[in-house]
Amino acid sequence: MDLLPLLPPIIALVLILLTRQAALSLAAAVLTGVLLLKGGDPLTSLQHLFQKTLFPLFKSDWNLSAILFTLTLGSFATVLEKSGGFTALLHRLLNSETKAPKKRLLFGIYGLGLLCFFDGLANAVLLGRISRPLTDALKVSRQFLAYLIDSTSACVACVAFISTWIATQLSLIKEGIADSGIDASPVSLFFHSIPANPYCLLTLLLIPLVIAKSWQPGPMGKAQPVETPEASLKGDDFKVRNALIPLAVLVITLPGLIYLWQDTHQIILKEEVPIPPSWKNAFSSDGVPYAMTAAGFIALIAACLCFPKERRSELGKHATDGAASLLPALIILIFAWSLGSVLKELGTADMLSEFIRGSISLTYLPLAVFLLGAIMSFMTGTSWGTMGLLMPIVLPIALGLGDSAEMLTILPMVIGAVFGGAVFGDHCSPFSDTTIVSAMASGCSPTSHVLTQLPYALLTALGATIAYTLMALGLTPIIATLTCAALMAALVLTRKNS
């Protein structure tokens, strides 16, 4: 068997492990793949790289929308953070004449984390900044605060349809199923993958259970709060509407434009036939990328209009900084698209499909993908790099192992497994940007954050592993995930308060 088609992904993985640079590693893999396609000739390889791999990527409406929507939402997230609306909201939740109890504060931070669904890193930075003085005053350890904001941020962004992740996720799904003939849109596959992403869902469920029972196992129980002066819980001059109005605009505008932008005609037997508008048709329409981009710009304008008037001079810098903060992630995305294109030309997925046919059942593929993704993301510390490396490989493998009838069931499971496995590294890897940012925003060391968060992450990873096993045995993703959720809730709630 010719193993050369495996060389690019192997090079990418090895370089990520050695350098911790996902973009550089994926770029090296792309270059290796192009050289293999062109027999090692540098000139024709260079021509192929630009003419057949890179430039065609930008002809795709989905890919262009992914770049524009991500940049726009990056600006939106930073403008919203700097407006002070979320700070005012948290103080409003805790405003009282007496000292606020710990659980009320922690549930307030958790709720605010769910509300900041639009970006993982912005979520962590924002919650850490505004919550740390309050948790210090109420003698909550900074390690517990880091766990709280880290476990909320990436998980919410991963399953939320409106986030800086979604354009990347949809484009990776679209590239993975391109030319497969599957009658499903990237949007519908994404929605069906949500219940098949038990790691993120169980993590979001575990947080309120841990708060309610004050459960702090292992190293977390030994973490000590930092002694600081009392923090004021009465808020400041910021307005809650600075955050809530732009968020409402985003949440209403995105699905609204997708519905209005849908195709109302369909070509049947070379004739244009009108079709009634529907949400199903809207989310499978070619207008989705345009609607996403337009909604992002409208939401950004709303955030700018709601920004405090006395600080309007800062708007340009905040909007630019927000977009610039996501450029490294977009570079990873572009090289992930390129790698997927090169691997398709090399036939890497077809070769792997033939190799694993008979050695692993199609129904157990999601479990294998989740475990592989979890290991990769833990070792490399990059969730986007893991998604970018795995998705172009595992989706074609799944397509090669089953028939079209099975695909509509198994593909969402595989997609959910890639996302869940990738997020696991965000919570456990000491190299992860989310891990480091969460620790720094909370005021503790990344090492102590990893050690104290690990028991919680391993518990939900175990629950996800059981869920994928139940899916392989025939349960639907919803039933399998709910079963594991019930088991996890029983485990935590039956423990004595600590």
pLDDT of residue 208: 94
Dist CA 182 CA 311 (whole Å):
51
Instruction: Report the pLDDT value the prediction gives residue 99, as an integer from 0 to 100.
Output: 53
Closest CA to 166 of 202, 148, 191: 191
Tokens representing 327 are 């450029």
As a whole number of angstroms, the distance between CA 286 and CA 65 comes to 12
Residues 23, 335: contact at Cβ < 8 Å? yes
- CB-based burial label for 237 (10 Å; 0-12, 13-18, 19+): exposed
Packing angle, helices 433-442 and 404-428, rounded to 10: 40
Separation of alpha carbons 150 and 424, rounded Å: 11
d(CA 446, CA 439): 5
| DSSP characters over 187-202 | HHHHHHHSTT-HHHHH
Query: What separation, in Å, do the N-terminal and C-terminal C-alpha atoms of the chain show?
Result: 58
Q: What angle do CA 73, 77, 81 make, to 5 degrees?
A: 170
Nearest to 428 by CA among 155, 151, 21, 116: 151
DSSP 312: G
Query: Around Cβ 301, how many Cβ atoms within 10 Å?
Result: 14
SS3 label, residue 230: coil
- Rounded to 5°, angle at Cα 365 from 361 and 369: 155
Long-range CB pairs of 473-479, under 8 A, 24+ apart, other chains included: 473/363, 474/363, 476/195, 477/192, 477/195, 477/196, 477/198, 477/412, 477/413, 477/416, 478/195
* Most distant pair of Cα atoms in the chain: their distance: 75
Two tokens, residue 175: 């590239």
Q: Could you give the CA distance from residue 172 to residue 178 in angstroms, rounded to a whole number?
A: 10
Q: What is the helix (H) or strand (E) element at residue 268, kind and residue range? A: strand 265-268
What pLDDT was estimated at residue 466? 97
282-288 contact pairs (CB < 8 A, 24+): 282/258, 283/185, 283/187, 283/188, 283/191, 283/258, 284/184, 284/185, 284/187, 284/188, 285/258, 285/261, 286/61, 287/258, 287/261, 287/262, 287/263, 288/65, 288/170, 288/185, 288/187, 288/258, 288/261
Q: In the chain, which stretches have pLDDT less than 50?
A: 1, 98, 231-236
Cα–Cα dist 337/391, whole Å = 10
Q: What is the pLDDT of residues 163-222, one digit of tens each?
A: 778 878 888 888 888 777 777 788 889 999 999 999 999 999 999 999 988 898 888 888
Output the six-digit token pair for 82. Answer: 């700097």
Name the residue among 97, 96, 76 with its Cα closest to residue 85: 76
Q: Are 19 and 354 within 8 A, CB to CB? A: no
- Say how far residue 146 (Cα) sits from the centre of its chain: 18
- Identity of the amino acid at 187: V
